[in-house]
């Protein structure tokens, strides 16, 4: 994968994860399913790449996690947005909308 594309995907994946968690705490598999259902495999080419993104977001203080019991009655790690995470989501969303509107107006004017 070319570097620029990967960086774009990183940023997009991070934002999508934040969006996913904006409704409540989820474990990794649930997050993967949520993204998969909405984007196919356009973003999440391999499911495992979700996890480094989660750890990175946790390190940046945008997410926090707790251990709980999943529907398998197994210990699972549940991720949750922090205050800073919510702010980041708002910021990223606004930025993305501005960016995509600009690109759209060039690529498909009139639409």
Partner 1 sequence: MTGSGGKGRRDRAGRVVRPSVEREVDEEFGHHLEMRIRDLVAAGWTRDDAEREARRRFGDVDRLKADCRELGTRRDVEMNRRLWWDEVRQDLGYALRQLRRAPSFALVTVLTLAIAIGANVAVFSVVQGVVLAPLPYPEPDRLSVLWTRYLPPSGFDIEKFVLSGVEALDIREESETLSEVGIYYAGSRALTGDDASAERVRVGFYSADVLPALGVAPLLGRWFTEEETLPEGPDVTILSHGLWTDRFGADPDIVDRSILMNGVPTRVVGVMPRGFSFPSETRAWLPAGLDRSNQGGRASHGYLVVARRAPGVSQADLDAELAVIADRWAAEYEHNVAHFPWSQTLHTETVADAPRVLAVLMSAVGLVLLIACVNIANLLMARGERRHAEVAVRRTLGADRTRITRQLATESLVLAAVAALVGLALAAGSLRAIFALDPEALPRLDQVQMNGTVLAFTVGLTGLTAMLFGILPAYLAGRRSVTTLAGSAARSIGSRRSAGLRQLLVTSEVALSLVVVILAGLVVRSFDALTDTDPRMEPDDLLTFSITLPESAYPEVEEVPYEWSRMLDELRAIPGVTAVSASTNLPFQGTGQWDFQLDDRPPRADGETAWNAGISQVAPDYFETMGIPVLDGRALTREDVRDGPLVSVVSESMASRFWPGQRVIGKRFGYEIEEDSVAWMTIVGLVPDPVTRNLAAEPYPHVYVPHMQSGISTYFVPRTMQVALRMGTSAESVLPAVRSRMEAFDADLPLYEVRTMDEIVSVSLAGPRVTSNLLGAFALIALLLAAVGIYGVISYSVAGRTREIGVRVALGAEGREIARQILAEGARPVVLGVVLGLGAAWFASRLVETLLYGVEPTDPLTFTALPLLLVSVGVIASLLPALRATRVPPTEALRE
Using CB under 8 A, list all residues that contact partner 1. 24-30, 32, 45-49, 51-52, 55-56, 58-59, 61, 65-72, 74-78, 80
Shortest reach from residue 48's CB to partner 1, in Å = 4
Nearer to partner 1, 16 or 57 (CB): 57
Shortest reach from residue 14's CB to partner 1, in Å = 13
Nearer to partner 1, 17 or 27 (CB): 27
Cβ atoms of 78 and 67 closer than 8 Å: yes
Is the four-CA dihedral 42, 35, 65, 78 of positive or negative sign?
A: negative
Note the helical H segments in 22-82: 28-39, 50-59
CA 109, distance to chain mean position in Å, is 29
Residues forming beta bridges with residue 65, ordered by sequence position: 79
Shortest reach from residue 83's CB to partner 1, in Å = 13
């Amino acid at each position: 994968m070319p570097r620029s594309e990967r960086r774009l995907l990183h940023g997009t994946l991070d934002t999508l994860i934040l969006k996913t968690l904006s409704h409540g705490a989820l474990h990794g598999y649930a997050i993967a399913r949520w993204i998969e259902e909405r984007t196919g495999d356009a973003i999440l080419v391999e499911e495992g790449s979700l996890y480094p993104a989660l750890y990175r977001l946790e390190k940046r203080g945008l997410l926090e996690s707790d251990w709980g019991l999943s529907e398998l009655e197994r210990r699972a790690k549940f991720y949750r947005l922090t205050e800073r995470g919510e702010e980041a989501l708002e910021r990223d969303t606004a930025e993305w909308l501005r960016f995509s509107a600009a690109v759209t107006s060039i690529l498909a004017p009139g639409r």
